[in-house]
């Protein structure tokens, strides 16, 4: 069988079949159109080893001598009911071929591997998109005559020997997506997510690269697992020098049991190769997102609106007149979408009660939400609403009437002696695998959307799914699919309604949920200093138009820090911009800065949400320079950000990456200006700079070629820690 070769945007993937099973012979830099005879590239056989070369297959198998993590694990019962049979499959290729490119130009390889004796077959689809992003998925079928108990079906890609370092992301509530990196060593490195959702500590990106790889240097091989439930990501590094980078759904005991003829489909593993560092990986992901037919509009028509969210303004204090005042204040600043957060539904005065009762609270809203919606829409804004449909308080009508809808580890957790999971924020999980619970939630959400002019749902999920079970069996898999199905059905019925994925902030950020939603809430933390890191690494995969980014109050309620409004505004600009504080109490200076940044956002919204994201490689990690460059490279916005005190006395020159080296550009400081700065009692501006005199270019700008600006750069001013400088770059003739 001839090898299959997929190639696009500087990336090649080659599949070979000489051993009888599918094997990825190469994933990385683009190869020429003509391949040599791959059968001549068999590995040597060392001493004290199997007598034939060991094959590292597309689905690694012990039957081929692979001594690392197996790609497929499962078993059957024998005639006496004893477990553990058919534990080691021997999959061999029975079909393989390339499909015609689709309308977008994506190339697809489809292959089928089968083990007749074990009664299993696996169909694999590999798609290389025009922008270079790779998608891999498997479908397992039980072709035997007895049930097959699936334990794991992994998706893996080989890493070359020059990949010497591994970078992944971790975090916690209000500190999501922080990087960590280490040398690749022998053994198996595993990141397990057992949250029942993606998780605050989940790694949005796992990137292996040549030693010292950075934002714009080095080769990088990176993966993302598109699944919103339990999962594992791993790097398997064997003693023979071969490594596999992969991921799989993490299944509970007997969670997926396939009857004869049934199938199991894996989530998709997304993968990107870059010869230009992490920014090259990011570009592949962003191009893939933006090529989707259902991607949000970023260049014309319904652009990403300026959001005003009520949570940090009023919390649970829902009264019509103050909420109308907040809407009026927001509209005056330029807000375009108003989102009423938690506290509007029946019995909800704090977080102890009401979840599950998705009816407008008649005591708070005797005329329903209509008076507020009419006021908001009359000001020219869209109206959005917060919901948390998967959760329930025990103090709720629905829990009292349907205790059997509450998920738990016991066969009947709602009965006397039944055991519920521990509470989290005073709430439990509705069992969406229960048809009655699913229909109830669908019916309530559908009714809310039919009865009210709602353009947007902020869909929250404020707890992990610990000990999640349906009828006493582990059921995170079923719950996740039921949640997806709920989103899918609502999207069909209400295609004009946008949905945000929020899960205690950034605990459900993945490409599985983003196939069904329109943005994510990256973190419950609006502290601009924390957001600089959270947003940088969230946007390593997600384009900024999908990442909610709000200007929070002067005093952050999650960290206690106090930041100047210009720092908060510049930080929020590079995302889907919004505000989340009581702007009725804002000072006149705060309002001036907010009006200015909203005007900048609206003017540059198409650039921010369609351009190429760039991150400079600087010598001190406490100084960041990042930006967005237009696709035609005619303009750009950059932010120079001081995250802390520098080791050096001066920040030095910083290059502006991503511009066309042959064109000339004018660089100007856009913010802060003297009118943005706080004033002393005497009326003098309080400078964000710590210097006797600024670099001379800062006064009236600087003009140079793109090559000069990137490789020579500009001397940066000495900014105070936790301040930022916004730069605008425009092409000149």
* b/e per residue 161-174 (b: at least 16 CB within 10 A): eebbbbbbbbbebb
Give yes or no for a contact between 666 and 656, defined as CB atoms under 8 angstroms apart: no
464 DSSP 8-state letter: -
Give the tokens for residue 612: 């190429």
Give yes or no for a contact between 330 and 380, defined as CB atoms under 8 angstroms apart: no
64 DSSP 8-state letter: G
Give yes or no for a contact between 139 and 123, defined as CB atoms under 8 angstroms apart: yes
Give the tokens for residue 88: 């080691």
Out of 361, 460, 510, 527, the active site residue is 460
**33: alpha, beta or left? (left if phi > 0; alpha if psi -120 to 50):** alpha
Alpha carbon separation from 270 to 99, 273, 281, 313, 363 (Å, rounded)? 19, 11, 11, 39, 49
CA dihedral over 314, 317, 323, 325, signed as positive or negative: negative
For the chain, count helices (H), then strands (E): 12, 40
Contacts of 183 (CB under 8 A, 6+ apart): 164, 165, 166
Out of 361, 524, 564, 590, the active site residue is 524
Strand, coil or helix: 377: helix
Cα–Cα distance, 428 to 407 (Å, whole number): 7
Give yes or no for a contact between 221 and 186, defined as CB atoms under 8 angstroms apart: no
* DSSP states of 413-425: TTSTT--PPPPBT
Strands of the sheet with 72-75, listed across from one edge: 72-75, 148-153, 256-258
Residue 524 appears among annotated catalytic residues: yes
Q: Could you give phi then psi for residue 93, rounded to 5 degrees?
A: -70, 130
Q: By C-alpha distance, which of 562, 551, 46, 90 is closest to 308?
A: 551
Give yes or no for a contact between 149 and 183, defined as CB atoms under 8 angstroms apart: no
Q: Could you give phi then psi for residue 225, rounded to 5 degrees?
A: -105, 115
Q: Could you give phi then psi for residue 235, rounded to 5 degrees?
A: -130, 115
Alpha carbon separation from 460 to 341, 431, 457, 508, 521 (Å, rounded)? 10, 16, 9, 9, 9
Give the tokens for residue 708: 């000069």
- If you count them, how many residues does the chain have? 733
Strands, E assignment, 655-718: 664-671, 702-705, 714-715
Give yes or no for a contact between 157 and 246, defined as CB atoms under 8 angstroms apart: yes
Give yes or no for a contact between 9 and 29, defined as CB atoms under 8 angstroms apart: no
488 DSSP 8-state letter: H
Cα–Cα distance, 145 to 79 (Å, whole number): 11
Q: Burial, 32: exposed, middle or buried (Cβ in 10 Å; 0-12, 13-18, 19+)? A: exposed
* 3-state SS, one letter per residue, for 285-313: HHHHHHHCCCCCCCCCCCCCCCEEECHHH
Give the tokens for residue 732: 């000149």
Cα–Cα distance, 611 to 591 (Å, whole number): 28
Residue 350 appears among annotated catalytic residues: no
Q: Which H/E stretch holds residue 576?
A: strand 576-579
User: Please, what is the end-to-end C-alpha distance for the chain in angstroms?
Assistant: 56
* b/e per residue 658-687 (b: at least 16 CB within 10 A): bbbeeeebebbbbbbeeebbbeeeeeeeeb
Positions annotated as catalytic residues are: 460, 524
């Amino acid at each position: 069988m001839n090898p299959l070769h997929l190639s696009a945007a500087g990336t090649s993937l080659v599949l070979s079949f000489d051993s009888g099973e599918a094997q990825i012979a190469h994933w990385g830099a683009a190869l020429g159109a003509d391949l040599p005879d791959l059968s001549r590239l068999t590995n040597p056989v060392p001493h004290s080893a199997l007598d034939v070369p060991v094959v590292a297959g597309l689905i690694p198998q012990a039957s081929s001598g692979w001594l690392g993590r197996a790609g497929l694990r499962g078993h059957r019962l024998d005639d006496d009911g004893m477990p553990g049979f058919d534990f080691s499959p021997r999959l061999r290729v029975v079909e393989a071929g390339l499909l015609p490119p689709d309308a977008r130009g994506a190339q697809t390889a489809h292959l089928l591997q089968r083990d007749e004796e074990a009664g299993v077959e696996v169909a694999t689809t590999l798609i290389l998109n025009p922008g270079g992003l790779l998608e891999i998925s498997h479908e397992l079928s039980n072709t035997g005559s007895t049930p097959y108990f699936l334990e794991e079906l992994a998706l893996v890609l080989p890493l070359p020997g020059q990949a010497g370092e591994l970078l992944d992301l971790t975090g916690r509530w209000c500190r999501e997506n922080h990087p960590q990196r280490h040398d690749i060593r022998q053994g198996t490195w595993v990141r397990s997510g057992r949250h029942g959702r993606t998780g605050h500590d989940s790694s949005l990106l796992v990137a292996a690269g040549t030693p010292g790889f950075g934002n714009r240097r080095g080769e990088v091989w990176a993966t993302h697992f598109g699944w919103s439930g339990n999962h594992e990501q791993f790097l398997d590094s064997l003693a023979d020098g071969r490594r596999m980078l992969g991921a799989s759904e993490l299944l509970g005991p007997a969670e997926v049991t396939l009857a004869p003829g049934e199938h199991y489909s894996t989530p998709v593993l997304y993968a990107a190769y870059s010869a230009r560092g992490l920014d090259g990986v990011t570009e592949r992901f962003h191009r893939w997102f933006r090529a989707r037919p259902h991607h949000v509009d970023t260049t014309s028509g319904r652009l990403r609106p300026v959001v005003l969210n009520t949570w940090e303004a009023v919390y649970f204090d829902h009264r019509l007149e103050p909420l109308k005042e907040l809407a009026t204040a927001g509209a005056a600043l330029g807000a375009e979408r108003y989102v009423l957060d938690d506290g509007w539904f029946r019995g909800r005065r704090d977080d102890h009660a009401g979840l599950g009762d998705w009816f407008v609270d008649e005591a708070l809203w005797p005329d329903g939400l209509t008076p507020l919606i009419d006021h908001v829409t009359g000001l020219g804004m869209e109206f959005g609403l917060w919901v948390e449909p998967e959760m329930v308080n025990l103090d709720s009508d629905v829990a009292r009437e349907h205790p059997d809808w509450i998920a738990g580890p016991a066969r009947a957790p709602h009965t006397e002696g039944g055991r519920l999971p521990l509470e989290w924020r005073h709430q439990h999980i509705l069992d969406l695998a229960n048809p009655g619970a699913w229909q109830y939630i669908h019916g309530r959400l559908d009714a809310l959307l039919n009865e009210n002019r709602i353009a947007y749902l902020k869909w929250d999920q404020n707890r992990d799914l610990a000990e999640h079970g349906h009828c006493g069996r582990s059921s995170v898999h079923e719950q996740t699919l039921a949640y997806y199905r709920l989103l899918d059905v609502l999207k069909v019925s209400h295609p004009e309604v946008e949905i945000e994925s929020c899960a205690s902030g950034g605990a459900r950020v993945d490409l599985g949920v983003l196939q069904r939603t329109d943005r994510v809430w990256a973190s419950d933390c609006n502290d601009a200093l924390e957001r600089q890191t959270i947003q940088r690494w969230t946007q390593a995969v997600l384009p900024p138009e999908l990442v909610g980014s709000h200007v929070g109050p002067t005093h952050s309620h999650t960290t206690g820090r106090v930041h100047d409004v210009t720092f908060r505004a510049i930080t929020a600009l590079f995302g889907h911009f919004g505000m989340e504080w009581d702007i009725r109490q804002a000072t006149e200076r705060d309002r001036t800065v907010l009006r200015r940044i909203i005007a900048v956002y609206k003017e540059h919204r198409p650039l921010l949400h369609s351009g190429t994201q760039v991150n400079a490689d600087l010598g001190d990690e406490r100084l960041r320079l990042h930006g967005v460059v237009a696709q035609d490279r005619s303009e750009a916005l950059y932010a120079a950000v001081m995250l802390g005190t520098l080791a050096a006395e001066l920040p030095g020159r910083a290059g502006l990456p991503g511009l066309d080296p042959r064109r000339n550009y004018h660089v100007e400081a856009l913010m802060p200006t003297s009118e943005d700065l706080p004033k002393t009692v005497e009326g003098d501006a309080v400078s964000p700079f710590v210097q006797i005199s600024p670099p001379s270019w800062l006064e009236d700008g600087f003009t140079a070629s793109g090559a000069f600006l990137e490789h020579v750069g500009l001397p940066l001013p000495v900014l105070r820690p936790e301040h930022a400088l916004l730069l605008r770059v425009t092409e000149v003739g």
